[in-house]
Amino acid sequence: RLEAKKGPVGRECEGNALVPQYFREITLTPEAAKRVGKPTEVLAHNGWVMGWAATRDFAEPCWECVYLKRHLMAWGDCVKLRFGQQPEDSPFIWEWMTRYAVSMAKIFHAIRLDNAHSTPLHVSQYILARVRQANPHCWIFAELFTGDHHVDLLYEKTLGINALVREAAQTGHPRELSGHLTHLGGHAQGRPGPVPAVERMVPAPRTDRKHPLRQVGSFASLTAQYVPLRPRRCFSLLYDCTHDNRTPHEQRTAADALPTAALVAASVCSIGSTRGFDELVPHHLSVVSERRTYCTPRIPNLTAIAEPELTAGETPRVMTVRWPHGGKKVLARGSWDSWQKDVVLRPEAGGDFVSNVSLPEGTEFPVQYKFIVDDTWKFDHTQARAMDGSGNTNNIFCKPVGSLAPATVAPTRVGSPEVTPGILRVKQLLNQIHEKLGNENYIELTVDHLADDVIVVQRHHPDDHKGVVFVVRTAFWTDKNDSPELPVLTISGRITQLHVAATLSVNEEQKARYTEDKSKITGFKGDLLLQETLAAYATHAEGDGATTLAFHHLPQATVLVFATEPGPSAQKAHEGLYEVYKQLDAAVAEVTLVDAQYLLYSCEEEEKDVSKGARGAYAVPGHGPMVYAGLTGPVALLDEARAAPEWQDNNIVKHLRDGGWLLAYQADRLSDRPSLQPIQDWLRAAHGHISKLPRGAAPWHTDTILSCLYSAVCRHVLMHMGPYVASHGSPLVKGLALATLQFFGAVPSGVLNWERAKKEGFDRQPSLCAGLPHFSTGYMRNWGRDTFIALRGCLLLTGRFQEARDTILAYAAVVRHGLVPNLLDSSNNPRYNARDATWFFMQCIQDYCTMAPEGTGILSAPVRLRFPVAGWQEKGVDLPKVACLADVMQVILQAHAAGISFREWNAGKQIDEHMRDPGFNIIAGVNGEGFVYGGNTLNCGTWMDKMGSSDKAANRGLPATPRDGADVEIVGLAKSTVRWLSTLKEYPYDGVRLRADKSMSFGSWSKLLEVSFERWFWIPEDGKAEHCDLKMVNKAGIYKDVVGCAQPWCDYQHRPNCFIAMAVAPELFTPSRAVVALENGEDLLGPLGMSTLDPSDLAYRGDYHNDDDGHDKHTAQGWNYHQGPEWVWPLGYYLRARFQFTCPPGAGPEDQHHAVATVMRVLRQHRQHLWRDPWRSLPELTNSHGAYCGHSCPAQAWSVGCLLDAVHTVQTAVDPKSPLASPAGGRSQGLRAANGGDHHDARAPNGGGGPAGKAAAPAAQFAPP
């Protein structure tokens, strides 16, 4: 305003005031003046406030004082209305505005809400409700600029807005404008389909529907049980320039009207314009004060422009070959004579070397040629060029693309009286192209930049793969360079039709000559140049699958629009993909479960091991290595990309556009598994076809290939994982069952038995690893404890009985000192420092006998000990000779009954660099109460086995949780074992011999445990207990974690271990006490796991960081591994126990469903994690409150197996007659009452011997979510 020399404030300077008026004084009618007692009234102008929340009324009393502080950008043509909160607050205004809006709805098909955010939301809602009563089909457009996408969404949902008004002219940069095109409509070509990979079905050819269910380019529809809806923006009405904003001349340049109009026409949304834009009117026209009329232009018949036919044009007989880069001797050789003879180029005055070459009849275009400059072969990088079939780059000479009707393309002076003014001549054609693209379903959109001011928009048809390309050089700013250096533009297919080739220029002289007409509205007189061919701007070359355009002249404000269709090779590739998909089921038909582990998973370490270091997991630029080398690696990234709003910036999408290396990798890696050759051939065939299709569509096609293969393999393996998994369609069970595959695979460095692997091959010795990636290879792969905690869920429930049998017998062969090894190390150098692994092993044998078709037959399976008993048995202890598995079990039981005491083999730094010397001394036995006990203060023989390693914090060699004494879970596992054996006729032994030449039957041992357990382990709420030191109690109503620990307070710590005992030996627990303990166990529950220590404990440290190099003893080097972090696998036992005690036999349907709902509510986040985490698994542990732990395995076998076991327990208990009740297809032996049913028969049934067959309870329908 200062530059325009505006005047002072006041009515006399209206329109020229230095600052806008905020208030307006109006003269009242006599009636109104009489009513209010004064002749005039002052009203406040409406407007907008920078940064103001759209949902707040800036005129309401508030501390911001908008009018007083002059924060308002006032609109001088309207006033602010005070509506109040309801019609009664201002009846006249509500009624008047409603009547006006309803009258408009009765006349017009649509209503535009100008500055919709300036009207209170509740008022708009009220008025639009009346509008829709009058005209239910009225379309509501809204100009909405709240500055906040969430607030926009609030308005859209509250008011039912059909489309938002958007404006191309209100963008500050060409890239911002191109971003508008991307977001305002259309489906981006190449976007991965919306259906998650695991739900994908084989695509089917389109029949009678247009682009059914899919959102990106392909010949095929996406077939799935459901199609997720993607979040999308509200529909848009895109204007080139609206009535109340500045013109292109005022904001950018006058010539930018043409490129803006072209880009708007290229959009996939409704479009609009304002009169005066096409005529190049330089100044904003006020809809309030403008009184002049428009000139009525003579509009010619533009049918020839709207539907131009491509003419072949004359075939050139002579071509000019030019070398502009100097030299002494320049020759040329080309395809015009099959590269036979040299053509000599003569120098011209300007320094160029030139020659005209005659083209014989039948010359194939494009003609390829090359220069020989001073005896060196060269090509000219400034001229059109292409790569031949051998990979050589040559220059090319192209036949003209075609021409438009000559009468329509003559250069014209814009604004001349004899022609259509402004850009109307081209604008009509652009509008017709826009309409045609919409009507014929060119719904896919790709937007790219050749330069900051050069935008390429491609509209693509998803079924016939034809396209229309807009190449637009904008004129946001003045740039006199008409020949910018631009990269070659590659277009898929070939150009079939030229629609528009036009350049608009409005020079300074033309702008200076412009004068406003006082009676007519006129615009600038410029030059609109229409060209017949693309040759004026670029040279083009057509290959088999693509066309290249090399621009040599592209002035500002140039628009090129042409049509394309796929080349012959692309059409054949689409047909070939039909056949590829038909062969998918046959390709996966013979995939075994072990093959599936390699095909779907194989982490980085496993892949390097299998390939002998030749490769790891595939690395995506900008992302790094995928978590798996197998299909799940890319599928997880594609699932993430398909749900991302900014999917086009996703690293894997960009990578797939750049090339087809990922598919080639997936196929090539299968060479290591000959059994997977059918899938390798299938992938290579698919890759061959996709490589011939446009790269822009490659992400979609690659996603479809990989996702369909992934889904087909998943369906195939699920159907081969036993009746329980095969018949259960819930995402939770499917996710858990598939996750079990991750852990059971074959790697050369981590076999079960090294000697057998050398003879039979490593691929014949698969094993169950503990977790990925840290425990995937070498001696760290196979842990006895982890294996047998996970085995029931990972192998037995998934019907993999042979694998379970092999695993049990492999560990049985290396039993030593009556213990199963903790670390197996391929049976070469096993380490025996775990007291609990043996009892989980015994539990798995029981589970196998109950669940597998073989039943107790495994007990007679031959076993040859790698370390014969004679080499390690204690003096005075008579152990049985080992010939079969039952003998191994008896050796274990007898060794514990007699007492185990030995020093670890090879004790010292070579096997444990942190442990202090006494820690290598291993003891275990059975005390007078029947409890299995063991350990000392310097070793950690249970799963809570963190050994300190920090010198700085002085915890090296000190176990954080020694748990020496009788551990509650080991007592429960031992009880489950002796109870089972006491009634098992097939077991050849009836008890054990004690040291004092006494014997104890398994039945007696079982009864002794039942009598002793709660006397020693229960911590009552009333404080009255025989073996309870109240001074040590932190929490009552729980069971002790240990009995007899050297540090007495450790006995009383609240940990989740008692729930393991509850699940496998429920007869040890009084139901009412168990329920109290389970309720208190909720204090340990986290989002995914259970805290390993009650948060109220002084030793609680909930966040584990193994790299903590601090001075705090409690956390240094991760010493708090089991002092609070939330482990997942104990949750499985907790849920099993909770269900058994809260839904006992005889519970009614209501109690059953309540118990089921409780369990499934806890597992809700696990289901989400399984399908969202790139590992498609469950982690080892989390930090406090479910926070991510970077030092945890992201995929852990026992986490997956124990939770699958929990879901199975719930399913089979609620419906014991279901075919899902037994993994072996109905073999479940039911439940035996403890000791033949003579004790605790009213308590919860045996939970350790497989499915809980509760025959008395009425069956309820249930399918876990």
The confidence score (pLDDT) of residue 297 equals: 67
Minimum mean pLDDT range among 216-220, 556-560, 831-835:
216-220
Contact 786, 1197 (CB under 8 A): yes
Buried residues in 1109-1124 as b, exposed as e (16+ CB within 10 A): eeeebbbbbbbbbbbb
Q: How would you classify the pairing of strands 270-272 and 187-188?
A: unpaired
- Which whole-number Å values give the CA distances from 782 to 630, 772, 811, 818, 820, in the listed order? 22, 12, 10, 19, 12
pLDDT higher at 139 or 481: 139
Q: Grade residue 1125 by pLDDT with cuts at 50, 70 and 90.
A: very high
Residue 117 has pLDDT above 50, yes or no: yes
The pLDDT tens digits for 1220-1255 are 455 554 333 322 223 333 333 333 333 333 333 323
Average pLDDT over residues 858-871: 94
pLDDT score at 995: 75
Q: How much is the CA Rg of the chain, to the nearest whole Å?
A: 40
Q: Which of 214-228, 829-843, 866-880 has the highest mean pLDDT?
A: 829-843
48 against 1188, higher pLDDT:
1188
| Exposure string over 674-691, b if 16+ CB within 10 A, otherwise e | eebebbbebbbbbbbbbb
Of 676-680, 697-701, 799-803, give the lowest mean pLDDT range.
Answer: 697-701
- Tell me the two tokens of residue 296: 């009525």
Given this model, what pLDDT does residue 1177 score? 97
pLDDT at 132: 95
Task: Please compute the mean of the pLDDT values over residues 812-833 and round it to a whole number.
Answer: 94
Phi (first) and psi of residue 613, to 5 degrees: 85, 0
Residue 1015's pLDDT band (cuts 50, 70, 90):
very high
Where residue 833 falls among pLDDT bands split at 50, 70, 90? very high
Quote the pLDDT of residue 903. Answer: 94
Confidence of residue 891 (pLDDT cuts 50, 70, 90): very high
Return the pLDDT at 742. Answer: 97
pLDDT for residue 207: 47
At 492 the pLDDT is: 85
Residues of the chain by 3-state class (helix, strand, coil), percent to 5: 35, 15, 45
423-446: per-residue pLDDT in tens? 988 999 999 999 999 999 999 999
First to last CA, the chain: 66
Q: What is the pLDDT of residue 386?
A: 67
Angle at CA of residue 810, ends 808 and 813, nearest 5°: 105
The pTM of the full predicted model, rounded to 2 decimals, is: 0.80
Quote the pLDDT of residue 17.
Answer: 63
Over 80: is that where the pLDDT of 403 sits?
no
Strands 72-79 and 40-49: antiparallel
CA distance 9 to 18: 6
Measured CA to CA, the distance from residue 899 to residue 901 in angstroms comes to 7
Q: Give the span between the Cα atoms of 889 and 1175, in whole angstroms.
A: 37
Tokens of 1079: 């309720």
Rounded CA gap, 230 and 15, in Å? 49
Mean pLDDT value across residues 853-878: 90
Q: Is the pLDDT of residue 119 over 90?
A: no
pLDDT over 70 at 415, yes or no: no
In Å, how far from its chain's centre is CA 1041?
A: 41
What are 163-196's pLDDT values in tens digits?
A: 889 999 989 999 999 988 988 888 888 888 888 8
Short-list 274, 277, 278, CA closest to 287: 274
Count Cβ atoms below 10 Å from residue 93 Cβ, excluding itself. Answer: 15
3 state SS of 378: strand
**Does residue 727 carry a pLDDT above 90?**
no
1028: pLDDT strictly greater than 80? yes
Active-site hit among 57, 71, 122, 244: 244
Please pick, among 114, 352, 672, 1151, the residue that the annotation labels catalytic.
Answer: 114
Q: Is 35 left (phi over 0), alpha (psi -120 to 50) or beta?
A: alpha
pLDDT above 70 covers a percentage of the chain that reads 88
What pLDDT does 216 receive? 37
Residue 232 has pLDDT above 70, yes or no: yes
pLDDT digits (tens, 9 = 90+) for 550-559: 998 899 999 9
Secondary structure of residue 960 in the 3-state scheme: coil
Residues making up the chain, counted from first to last: 1265
Question: And the tokens for 1090?
Answer: 């259970």
- Mean predicted confidence (pLDDT) in 257-263: 97
pLDDT given at position 127? 96
Q: What values do phi and psi take at 1222, rounded to 5? A: -125, 125
Residue 235 has pLDDT above 80, yes or no: yes
Whether residue 588 contacts residue 713, with contact meaning beta carbons closer than 8 Å, is answered with yes
Q: Quick one: which H or E segment has residue 467?
A: strand 467-473
Three-state DSSP class for residue 625: strand
Cβ proximity of 837 and 812 under 8 Å: no
Q: Above 70 in pLDDT, residue 927?
A: yes
Q: What DSSP string describes 1162-1198?
A: HTHHHHHHHHHSTT-S--SEE-GGG---TTS-SEEHH
8 Å CB contact between 247 and 283: yes
- Say what the pLDDT of residue 871 is: 86
- For this structure, is 117 an active site residue? yes
What is the per-residue pLDDT for 58? 85
- In the predicted model, is pLDDT for residue 741 greater than 90? yes
CA 400 vs. chain centroid, Å, equals 46
d(C-alpha 985, C-alpha 839), whole Å: 21
- Written as one string, the DSSP assignment of 988-1034 is S--EEE-TTS-EEEHHHHHHHHHHHHHHHHEE-TTS--TT--GGG-S
Mean predicted lDDT score pLDDT of the chain:
86
Residue 915 has pLDDT above 70, yes or no: yes
Q: What is the pLDDT of residue 409?
A: 38
Rounded CA-CA distance 94/127 in Å is 8
pLDDT at 536 exceeding the cut of 60: yes
Looking at per-residue pLDDT, the higher value among 225 and 670 belongs to 670
Least confident of 320-324, 735-739, 850-854, 1150-1154: 1150-1154
Collapsed DSSP state (helix, strand, coil) of residue 183: helix
Which pLDDT value is given to residue 1030? Answer: 87
| Residue predicted with more confidence, 582 or 5 | 582
Nearest Cα to Cα of residue 253 among 560, 556, 558, 561: 556
User: Would you state the pLDDT for residue 560?
Assistant: 96
Torsion 358-361-364-366 (CA) sign: positive
**pLDDT tens digits along 1170-1213:** 999 999 999 999 999 999 999 999 999 999 999 999 999 988 87
Q: How far apart are CA 1137 and CA 1206, in angstroms?
A: 9
Q: Is 244 a catalytic residue?
A: yes
Residue 578, pLDDT above cutoff 60: yes
78-110 pLDDT, tens per residue?
888 889 999 999 999 999 999 999 999 999 999
Largest CA distance in the chain: 126
